[in-house]
C-alpha cells in the first residue's frame, strides 16, 4: 500500500510520522484570511509575468496521487510579483475532492473551491536542477488557481481530460503534443495573494513561494468526475473495479503562524 495518501490510515494527519517536515512552521496550504492580507507596495509595480509556449509536447502521468503534466520547460518563464529571479515551468497538476464543496487546498476565509490547479516552476537562474531547487527556500514558485463548477466545459482542460482514460492506473503515462494555451488556464485578473510555504504533499519541503490567484476558473461537473475516475493503484493490483479510485487528493489548510500574507492586484 502507499506509504502516504489521502485515506484515513495514510492521510495528511499521519504524514508527519514518516515525513517530519510536514510538522514544520512554513507548511502549505493555508486558509487565506483576507483580513490578514497586507497590500504591499513592493509588489504593485512588479506584475507577475509569464510566458508559456503555445504548442509543445507534453507527458501526462498518473502518479498514484492524481494526474501530472510534465512540460519541457525550455521556453517557459515566470517572473515578477514576489519572485526575484526567473523560474521555469516543470509540471502542472490538480487537487480535488469527493464532492464539489471541497477539493481545493488553499481556502479563502474558510471557503473551499471544488478543485485547485498548481503550476510548478523552479528557480533555474539560481539552481542547476529542479531537484536541487526543491531543497531550497526560494527554489520553487507554484501558481495556485481555484476551480469552481461551471455549466460549460473548460476547453483547455478538455485536452488533458481526454487523455485521462489512457492513464487510469498508477504509473501509466501518455505522450501528447497538443497546443495548450496556458494563458487560458489562468484567470483574467492577476489579483493574487502570496506567502512562503511548502509542497502540499510529502516530502513537504519548505521550498515554495506561493502565488494564489483570487479569481477562479471554471470546470464542468463532468470534467471533475473524470478526475475522480483515476485510480491510485496499478493495473496489476487486483482490486474490485470501484476500489482505489482517487476521489480526493487535497491537504487541508495548516496554520499561517507568523508568516506574512501579501496581496496584490486591483
Ligand X SMILES: CCN[C@H]1CN(CCOCC)S(=O)(=O)c2sc(S(N)(=O)=O)cc21
Smallest distance, ligand X to C-beta of residue 135, A: 7
Site residue total, ligand X (CB under 6 A): 11
Is the CB of residue 192 less than 8 Å from the CB of residue 212? yes
Is the CB of residue 178 less than 8 Å from the CB of residue 184? no
Does 118 sit near Zn ion (CB under 5 A)? yes
C-beta closer to ligand X: residue 89 or 264: 89
CA distance 131 to 143: 18
The three grid cell numbers given for residue 36, joined into one nine-digit string: 490578514
C-beta closer to ligand X: residue 71 or 154: 71
The neighbouring-strand residues paired with 3 are none
C-beta closer to ligand X: residue 120 or 217: 120
Site for ligand X in 180-209 (CB under 6 A): 199-201
Smallest distance, ligand X to C-beta of residue 243, A: 20
Is the CB of residue 204 less than 8 Å from the CB of residue 251? no
- Nearest CA to 117 among 91, 94, 148? 94
Tell me whether strands 140-149 and 208-213 are parallel, antiparallel or unpaired: parallel
Site for ligand X in 85-104 (CB under 6 A): 91
Does 142 sit near ligand X (CB under 6 A)? yes
Tell me whether strands 107-108 and 31-32 are parallel, antiparallel or unpaired: parallel
Chain-centroid distance, C-alpha 180: 17
CB atoms near residue 61 (< 10 Å): 19
Site residue total, Zn ion (CB under 5 A): 1
Q: Which helix (H) or strand (E) holds 94?
A: strand 88-96
CA distance 219 to 203: 29
> How many residues are there in the chain?
266
Smallest distance, ligand X to C-beta of residue 230, A: 13
The three grid cell numbers given for residue 75, joined into one nine-digit string: 521556453
C-beta closer to ligand X: residue 93 or 190: 93
Tell me the per-residue interface mask from 33 to 72 with ligand X, x by CB under 6 A, - otherwise.
Answer: ------------------------------x-x-------
C-beta closer to ligand X: residue 111 or 131: 131
Smallest distance, ligand X to C-beta of residue 24, A: 13
Smallest distance, ligand X to C-beta of residue 200, A: 4
Smallest distance, ligand X to C-beta of residue 120, A: 5
Contact residues toward ligand X (CB under 6 A) are 63, 65, 91, 118, 120, 131, 134, 142, 199-201
Amino acid at each position: 500500500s502507499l506509504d502516504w495518501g489521502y485515506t484515513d490510515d495514510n492521510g495528511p494527519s499521519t504524514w508527519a510520522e514518516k515525513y517530519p517536515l510536514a510538522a514544520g512552521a512554513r507548511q502549505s496550504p493555508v486558509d487565506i484570511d483576507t483580513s490578514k492580507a497586507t497590500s504591499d507596495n513592493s509588489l504593485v509595480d512588479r506584475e507577475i509575468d509569464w510566458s508559456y509556449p503555445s504548442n509543445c509536447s507534453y507527458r501526462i502521468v498518473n502518479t498514484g496521487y492524481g494526474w501530472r503534466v510534465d512540460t519541457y520547460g525550455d521556453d517557459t518563464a515566470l517572473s515578477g510579483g514576489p519572485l526575484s529571479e526567473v523560474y521555469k515551468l516543470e509540471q502542472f497538476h490538480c487537487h480535488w475532492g469527493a464532492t464539489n464543496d471541497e477539493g481545493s487546498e488553499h481556502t479563502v476565509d474558510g471557503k473551499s473551491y471544488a478543485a485547485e490547479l498548481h503550476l510548478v516552476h523552479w528557480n533555474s537562474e539560481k539552481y542547476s536542477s529542479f531537484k536541487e531547487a526543491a531543497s531550497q527556500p526560494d527554489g520553487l514558485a507554484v501558481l495556485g488557481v481555484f476551480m469552481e463548477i461551471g455549466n460549460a466545459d473548460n476547453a483547455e482542460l478538455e485536452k488533458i481530460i481526454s487523455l485521462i482514460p489512457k492513464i487510469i492506473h498508477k504509473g501509466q503515462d501518455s505522450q501528447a503534443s497538443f497546443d495548450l494555451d496556458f494563458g487560458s488556464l489562468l484567470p483574467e485578473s492577476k489579483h493574487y495573494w502570496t506567502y512562503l510555504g511548502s509542497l502540499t504533499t510529502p516530502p513537504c519541503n519548505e521550498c515554495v513561494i506561493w502565488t494564489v490567484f483570487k479569481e477562479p476558473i471554471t470546470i464542468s461537473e463532468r470534467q471533475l468526475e473524470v478526475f475522480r475516475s483515476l485510480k491510485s493503484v496499478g493495473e496489476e493490483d487486483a482490486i474490485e473495479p470501484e476500489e482505489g479510485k482517487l476521489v480526493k487528493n487535497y491537504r487541508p489548510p495548516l496554520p499561517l503562524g507568523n508568516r506574512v500574507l501579501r496581496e496584490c492586484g486591483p
